[in-house]
Structure 1
Amino acid sequence: MIVLEGKSVFNDICMGNISFYKRKESVIKRYKVEDTDAEIKRFESAKEKGKKQLQSLYEKALADVGEANAAIFEIHQMMLEDLDYCESIINIINSQQVNAEYAVGVTADNFTAMFAAMDDAYMQGRAADVKDVSERLLKILTNAEDGIQILNDKVVIAADDLVPSETVQLDKDKVLGFIMQNGSANSHTAILARSMGIPAIIGLGEDLKKEFDGKYVIVDGFHGKVYIEPDEETLAVMEKRRKESLERKELLQQLKDKEDITLDGTKINIYANIGNSSDVGNVLKNDANGIGLFRSEFLYLENSDYPTEEQQFAAYKTVAENMAGKKVIIRTLDIGADKKVDYFKLDKEENPALGYRAIRICLTRKEIFKTQLRALYRAAVFGNISIMFPMIISVEEVKAIKVIIAQVKEELKQEGIPFKENVETGIMIETPASVMISDELAKEVDFFSVGTNDLTQYTLAIDRQNQKLEPFYNAHHKAVLKMIKMAADNAHAEGKWIGICGELGADITLTEEFLKMGIDELSVSASMVLEVRKRVREIDLTK
């Protein structure tokens, strides 16, 4: 038996044979051309054909994995029109008098290396997108066959990593799980695994060898382990755990439509976190009582330019209407730190987590902020929307926000555009500063929501993106828990409610402690709603 260890991106167990993803690589030859105009036309023709193929893939992905995951193929279509990318290819053809295939290959290598070298994890992920788009062009230019993986049986897919066009063409009914040499929690493989609800382990490195193709394997997504040709004892243990996992899922389904209430009658709201409007279906499917965190920055991350007021209004309105009166808390733009957007043209910072981000951008680039607030106040007419502001460190910031809100309302009134006058507003408690002055902040807002990811990072002075510091990172640190309790006490002293929307909200080992602190709401990933509900209903706060 061989045991490999990596990082899990979805907690579950699967068993089956390994199937290494097989690709048909395009062979690129360099040769001189006399007619560069004709070669550029070849490139333009391939580009148009590629866009049509991507549109077909988008439609297939829409049916298979939903709008959010299908959107990558719209982004790929835009990448084919990217001026820098296209100009690089055309310049190489003209200046070197070479064939289009070679120009695409060189450009792909240059752009992939550029993205891969960036510090930001999101931008590093774009390297795979450039590679995918370029490989599509090369296949068209060389008349190569598409390397679609034909799966005859249910298998565990293994690869270095998979790009979007590869994942979408897999027969989802035949995929038991994924094991990858590389990848990240934000890779397309990880996203697909979570949407499909199957185990996936990334970062196995060179230990995952192609010679394992066809071998029987157990993928333990709970502990990030892969057992290749497991012995009888391991097989028996994992079979038992898989059966328990299946039984647990079935039992959790019985909790739908049940109240989020403890044995002693204490009620709590269990909400869900989402990234965009297409996630609402999963929220309703898992019976969340509302949305505790709508990360509005994904509207910006998925766009090639600033999303317009109408784009944002449509997205917020859709979510509000679909939630049919249930609370929808929308966090304003939280760009910066590990979430960068090219068109914002943010300067490179030595320590971006402590830099120009979130509300600091909004308060200094007010037109961007006003556009979002206009869309939010207009959409609030169509449902129960609340607005939440991130990275607050002072009362002065909250007062400055209120001035801008008043300006936005006055503008909408003057223009005769319908909007909701009284929208509940709150702030994220995610800096030690906001905790220490939470007694003053509670007088200014309607609610608090604790962002435990950043609060832990700033309290412990540990960059949560730095893997070397994982042994020192302790989300259960007493200092963090004491800060949450302090914020809760100060909120309640002013008659305001407080929730948790960070990762700790789904940590069922802390649920009872949070309830004892007086936390009123927990917002978790949709897939964890029923799990947290089960834990809440087991607790008796009188004991």
Structure 2
Amino acid sequence: MITITGKPVCSGIAFGPVFVFSREESTIKRHHIESSDDEIARFESARQQTISELGMLYDKALAEVGEANAMIFQIHQMMLDDLDYIESIKNIITDQLINAETAVAQTCDNFVQMFRAMDDPYMRERSADVKDVSERLIKILSGKDKDGLVTDEPVIIISDDLAPSETVQFDKSKILAFVTEGGSTNSHTSILARMMNIPAMIGAKGVLSADANGKNAIVDGFTGTIYIDPDEATINEMTKKKEEIDKQNKLLQQLKGRESVTKDGQKIELCANIGSVLDVGNVLKNDAEGIGLFRSEFLYLESNDYPSEDVQFAAYKDVLSKMVNKRVIVRTLDIGADKQVDYFNMPKEENPAMGIRAIRICLQRPDIFKTQLRALYRASVFGKLAIMFPMIASEWEIVKILEIIDEVKAELDSEGIAYSKNVELGCMIETPAAAVISDILSKHLDFFSIGTNDLTQYTLAADRQNPDIGKFCDTHHVAILRLINMIVQNAHKNGTWVGICGELGADLELTEAFLAIGVDELSVTPSAILPIRKKVIETNVSEIKESVLDKYLN
């Protein structure tokens, strides 16, 4: 048995034969031409055919993986209309009097090097798109058909890497899993694998030299492991694991589409916490009713400089479009404390958890805050957006935030940029101060989301990053539950709804308590949604309310 590990990009377990996918390398022969006009006409004909093929790929992807993921093929079409790209090819043909295939290859190399040299990881990934588009164009110019998947039975595909067009062209019914030596978690192939719900792993170094073609294998998409020629013990272990997962999937099918409503008719929204755009597929897979916490700081943590308004806009638009009018709550940047970013040039603090972090940075550096708010409001027309502000401790902070938002709206109005007039505004309740004045804060806001991780830390004076704190950081402490109860009561008096987005929200021992208190929403890791929904559906709040409140609040 050969065991190779890599990075998991889509969960699941697959058993089956291996198909090593290799594409015929296009050998480009450089040759002299007599007429640049004729060669440019040949290039233009191939370019139009390529655009047409990409249109067909878009239609196929639209049906299989949805509009947001199919858009990559529209982007590829746009690349073929890019004037810099076209002019480069035409100029090489004209100046060097060489064939179009060579001119496309030279232009491709130049553009790929340019993208790979960029600091932005998203833009670096676009080098693969340029290569994919150019190779398709060269094959059409050369009169060669695009390589495909040739198999009569479902297989585990192993390759060096896969272009988005190759991934979508495959017959989904013939694919058990993807395993690649290269690739990245940000690549379109990884995203498509998640949306197609096919187990996938990348970075499986050595898998192509393992002589695996035709051999049986097991792919564990949870751990990012492939077992080639697995032994009996591994087969039995993975079979049991798959059976357990299948049971969970059966539960998913039973609960999918059902409202999270108790036996006596009390509704609670079950939403998901995400840390990046890549998590949306898992949100939809687990039937979340929305996104209750989108941690926008990933845009800052994964960048070497402040992310531009356009980069942020693209990320927010992507998530809102994929969620199709389900509410998406974006938390404004929460940098500081345990999340440090070098280019922010923050001064060293003795106690960063209580220092300049989150909204305090935004109010001290309004230019950074305004850039994010502009991107958010621009994206708001693509879905149901709500914006949430972290680390609030005083009413004046909310007043100042609302003033800045009014300034941003005025700027957008003056520039003729559309934005939704129905963006809900809320704040995190994660400081004891915010909890105590929640009656005052609720007069300004549409919702609260209780961040129980920090609220517990600050209320109990117990550092949640310290592994030795142990029982001193009691998440079930009566003080925490009393604060949650007080926040809900204060908010409801002013028509403000309340969610919980900290880890406590996924604690099944407290689900009944949250229902009894009257919490309106729980936002948890996607995999926790269905177990909580099961608990909600099985609960009769009127029967347990008195005893539960007595247990946790007294």
TM-score in terms of structure 2 length: 0.68
Instruction: Point out the more displaced range, 261-270 or 129-138.
Output: 261-270
- Per-residue displacement from partner, 1:263-284 (whole Å, max 9, x unpaired)? 99998531246999xx89985x
SS in 2 for 1:177: strand
Change in Cα spacing, 1:155 to 1:413, as seen in structure 2 (3 Å) is: closer
Task: State the percentage of identical aligned residues.
Answer: 43
CA distance in 1, matches of 2:333, 2:133: 29
Confirm or deny: 8 A CA contact 2:260 2:270 kept in the other structure: yes
Partner of 1:135 in structure 2? 135
Give 2:198's aligned residue.
198
2:19–2:156: 8 Å Cα contact kept in structure 1? yes
The code of the aligned residue for 1:163 comes to A
State the distance in 2 between where 1:82 and 1:133 align: 12
Aligned to 1:180: 180
Q: Residue type of the partner of 2:5? A: E
Partners in 1 of 2:323 and 2:235 — Cα distance?
Answer: 47
Identify the range of structure 1 (132-141 vs 531-540) with the bigger mean alpha-carbon deviation: 531-540
Aligned to 1:387: 386
CA distance, structure 1, for counterparts of residue 466 and residue 200 of structure 2 = 24
Separation in structure 2 between the aligned mates of residue 24 and residue 281 of structure 1, nearest angstrom = 34
The separation in 2 between residues aligned to 1:47 and 1:375, in whole angstroms, is: 32
Deviation at 1:389, TM superposition (A): 4.2
Deviation, structure 1 residue 214: 1.0
Name the residue aligned to 1:462.
none
CA contact (8 A) 1:359 1:391 kept: no
Structure-1 separation of matches of 2:69 and 2:413: 38
User: Is the contact between residue 331 and residue 387 of structure 2 (CA under 8 Å) also seen in structure 1?
Assistant: yes
In 1: Cα distance, 2:210 partner to 2:292 partner: 44
- The answer to whether the 8 Å contact 2:511/2:536 transfers is no
Distance 2:508 2:99 in 1: 62
In structure 2, what is the equivalent of residue 331 of structure 1? 330
SS in 1 for 2:206: helix
Shift of 1:363: 4.9
Amino acid at match of 2:195: S
SS at match of 1:351: helix
Which of the two has higher C-alpha Rg? Answer: 2
Q: Quick one: which amino acid aligns to residue 20 of structure 1?
A: V
1:364-513 equivalent positions in 2, closer than 5 A:
369=373, 373=377, 376=380, 387-389=386-388, 398-406=398-406, 424-427=424-427, 438=434, 443=441, 445-449=445-449, 493-494=486-487, 495-496=490-491, 499=499, 512=509
Residue 351 (str. 1) matches residue 350 (str. 2): no
Classify the secondary structure of the residue corresponding to 1:153: coil
Structure 2 CA distance for aligned equivalents of residues 528 and 3 of structure 1: 30
- Contact kept, 8 Å, 1:505 with 1:523, in 2: the verdict is no
Deviations 1:114-141 (A, max 9, x none): 3334443322321211110110111112
Alignment of 1:510-521 (within 5 A): 512=509, 521=521
Q: 1:475 to 1:207 in 2, by over 3 A?
A: farther
Residue 81 (structure 1) shift: 1.9
- Any idea what the Cα deviations from partners look like across 1:333-389, whole Å, max 9, x if unmatched? 9899xxxxxxxxxxxx9637989999799856969956864884x899xxxx56214
Moved more, 264-273 or 160-169: 264-273
Q: Hey, what does 2:269 align to over in structure 1?
A: 269
The alpha carbon displacement at 1:189 in A equals: 2.8
Aligned partners of 2:379 and 2:419 also within 8 Å: no
Q: CA deviation at 1:404?
A: 4.8
Task: Pick closer, same or farther for the CA change 1:422–1:60 going to 2, 3 Å.
Answer: closer
1:100 is aligned to 2:100 = yes
Instruction: Tell me, in whole angstroms, the C-alpha distance in 2 between the residues paired with 1:83 and 1:353.
Output: 39
Question: By how many angstroms is 1:173 displaced?
Answer: 0.6
Alignment-mate amino acid for residue 386 of structure 2: I
| Deviation of the 1:251 alpha carbon | 2.7
The code of the aligned residue for 2:83 comes to L
1:154 is displaced (CA, Å) by: 0.7
Structure 2 match to 1:164: 164
Using a 3 Å threshold, how does the CA distance of structure 1 residues 104 and 18 change in structure 2: closer, same or farther? same
- Contact persistence 2:159–2:180 (CA under 8 A): yes
Confirm whether residue 213 of structure 1 aligns to residue 205 of structure 2.
no
**1:41 match:** 41
C-alpha distance 538-203 of structure 1, shift in aligned 2 (>3 A): farther
Mapped to 2, the partners of 1:371 and 1:119 lie a distance apart of 20
Structure 1 residues not aligned, in runs of 5+: 337-348, 456-472
Deviation at 1:477, TM superposition (A): 10
Q: Measure the CA separation in 1 of the matches of 2:30 and 2:452.
A: 53
CA separation of 1:91 and 1:59: change in aligned 2, threshold 3 A: same
Match of 2:229 in 1: 229
Output the amino acid matched with 1:61. A
Partners of 2:465 and 2:193 lie apart in 1 by 27
Q: Which amino acid counterpart does residue 139 of structure 2 have in structure 1? A: K
- Structure 1 residues 127, 428: CA separation in 2 closer, same or farther (over 3 Å shift)? farther
Please report how far the alpha carbon of residue 261 of structure 1 lies from its aligned counterpart in structure 2 after TM superposition.
7.4
The alignment yields a C-alpha RMSD, in angstroms, of 5.3
Which amino acid letter does the alignment assign opposite residue 188 of structure 2?
Answer: H
> Which residue number in structure 2 is paired with residue 240 of structure 1?
240
Shift of 1:421: 7.5
> Counterpart of 1:205 in 2: which secondary structure?
coil
- Indicate the residue corresponding to 2:8 in structure 1: 8
SS at match of 2:271: strand
Q: 1:437 to 1:111 in 2, by over 3 A?
A: farther
Q: Quick one: distance in 2 between partners of 1:96 and 1:335?
A: 54
C-alpha separation between the residues in 2 aligned to 1:14 and 1:453? 36
The residue type equivalent to 2:193 in the other structure is A
Residues 359 and 154 from structure 1, CA distance in 2 versus in 1: closer, same or farther, beyond 3 angstroms? farther
What is the Cα deviation at residue 32 of structure 1? 3.3
Deviations 1:312-348 (A, max 9, x none): 8xx789944xx5xxxx245389899xxxxxxxxxxxx
The CA deviation at 1:288 is 3.5
- One-letter code aligned to 1:49: Q
Deviations, residues 125-169 of structure 1 (Å, cap 9, x unaligned): 212111101101111121122112123101111111211110011
Q: How many residues align?
A: 484
Change (3 A) 1:222 1:532: farther
Q: 1:419 to 1:94 in 2, by over 3 A?
A: closer
Tell me the SS of whatever aligns to 1:157: strand
Does the 8 A contact of 2:104 with 2:134 survive in 1?
Answer: yes
Letter in 2 for 1:133: V
Deviates more, 1:403-412 or 1:194-203: 403-412
| Amino acid in structure 1 at the alignment position of 2:166 | E
In the alignment, residue 331 of structure 1 is paired with which amino acid? V
Q: Distance in 2 between matches of 1:293 and 1:153?
A: 42
Report if the CA contact (8 A) 2:270-2:533 is conserved: yes
Where structure 2 has 5 or more consecutive residues not aligned to the other structure, the ranges are: 300-306, 336-340, 347-356, 456-463, 492-496
CA contact (8 A) 1:359 1:392 kept: no
The 1:170/1:273 distance shift into structure 2, 3 A limit, reads farther
